Amino acid sequence: MPSSLRILVTGGAGFIGSHLCERLLDAGHEVLCVDNFYTGRRMNVAHLMDDPRFELMRHDVTFPLYVEVDQVFNLACPASPVHYQTDPVQTLKTSVHGAINMLGLAKRKRAKILQASTSEVYGDPEVHPQPEGYWGNVNPIGTRACYDEGKRAAETLFFDYNRQYGVRVKVARIFNTYGPRMHPDDGRVVSNFVCQALRGQDITVYGDGLQTRSFCYVDDLVDGLLGLMDTDDTVVGPLNLGNPGEYTMLQLAEAVIRLTGSRSRLVHKPLPADDPRQRQPDITRARDLLGWEPRVALDEGLRKTIDYFRGVVD
Ligand code: NAD
Ligand code: UDP
Ligand code: UDP
């Protein structure tokens, strides 16, 4: 395999995608970043623009894309509930039509392709922690379904393109990931709590705050994505990638207040529909197959995230 590859990153101007583009360039590859800027921003990749091996293209993956690449990381899809529910039909089209187009491209080029799937395929899980063998508990007609079912259908397409056409696929199920370059208005819990704390605003805890999530720092997650892409063609996944450290939203709020030194108070807001009660990855498979596990503890990752947001919030 040539040491320098041409790699397509869809959703590359988003939060995770921008970190991935940076790491791929650092490893000596050429990167084509494709994004329609629905939630992504040019400023996330502005520091890469002077690199002649980096190219940024505005394109919506629901339309065909004919480019010559060796690998595809398919990350294009809004990931925050407030954003993916703003235009649910477009969200579903992005997951399904986007997967079909990128799989068609990978088939034509015999390129390896990795799908950024999600822990949301487990829905509101009745098995805890969640192993990859669990089929999930998803409401197919609820307000989260455009995202959850879109990602589930994309997984089906990836496995069918693999079985039917021999496309070299990899499916990563990403659990809640946070870090620098999240949009201040992203709406997900870490960026909300950190921005609220830094601005001295009330911290908005939805419901009783006893629901849990497991938070993975972005550098660890990108290590996992790169490790999965580097496996041989027999490894298709799905593979859970996340940090097993599990916290209630009240614990997260307490940590953010402690680390920012904020005087913000907690206020409770209604719990959104179908909000999963608990979530924690079983990462046995990723440990065994990739020798991967997260290294950044929540406090350390939150400190880095807080430092970033200090520079961007008013
Ligand atoms: P993000 O919203 O910052 O990034 C998504 C990117 O995709 C944005 O740049 C957006 O403009 C782009 N995009 C959306 N629709 C598109 C389209 N039709 N065509 C081209 N580009 C499009 O979110 P993120 O957190 O960086 O998530 C990246 C990927 O990882 C997503 O697929 C998401 O579902 C998945 N994921 C993220 C998490 C997490 O906690 N961050 C968890 C599970 C899965
Ligand atoms: N496609 C694409 N880029 C490519 C090859 C295909 O966007 O380099 C799209 C193509 O428009 C098609 C989809 O991917 O709609 C699926 O391709 P496939 O070859 O599986 O299906 P077919 O073309 O036979 O419908
Ligand atoms: N949440 C919260 N306050 C906020 C934003 C989110 O309490 O300002 C809660 C939300 O209800 C959920 C958890 O935090 O229980 C994680 O939400 P997020 O949108 O970050 O991710 P997801 O629900 O998709 O895992």
Q: pLDDT grade, residue 2 (50/70/90)?
A: low
Tell me what pLDDT residue 1 has.
47
CB atoms within 10 A of CB 109: 19
Residue 165 catalytic? no
Non-local CB neighbours of 32 within 8 Å, separated by 6+ positions = 6, 7, 8, 9, 55, 57, 67, 69
Ligand 2 atom 18: residue of nearest CA: 104
Taking the centre of ligand 3 as the mean of its atom positions, its distance from the CA of residue 78, in whole angstroms, is 15
CATH topology of domain 6-178+218-242+281-295: Rossmann fold (3.40.50)
Three-class secondary structure of residue 183 per DSSP: coil
- Average pLDDT for the chain: 97
Ligand 2 atom 6: residue of nearest CA: 104
Which of 216, 249, 266, when mutated, tests ligand 3's pocket best, judged by the most ligand atoms within 8 Å of its CB? Answer: 249
Helices marked H in the chain: 15-26, 81-84, 88-109, 145-165, 189-199, 218-229, 249-260, 284-290, 298-312
Residue 158 · residue 173 · CB < 8 Å: no
pLDDT tens-digit map of 237-254: 999 999 999 999 999 999
Whether 12 is in the pocket of ligand 3, judged by its Cβ within 6 Å, is no
Non-local CB neighbours of 11 within 8 Å, separated by 6+ positions = 17, 34, 35, 40, 74, 75, 76, 77, 116
ipTM tops the 0.90 cut:
yes
Residue found under tokens 């498979």: 285
One-letter amino acid at 213 equals R
Taking the centre of ligand 3 as the mean of its atom positions, its distance from the CA of residue 182, in whole angstroms, is 14
Taking the centre of ligand 1 as the mean of its atom positions, its distance from the CA of residue 130, in whole angstroms, is 22
pLDDT tens-digit map of 80-127: 999 999 999 999 999 999 999 999 999 999 999 999 999 999 999 999
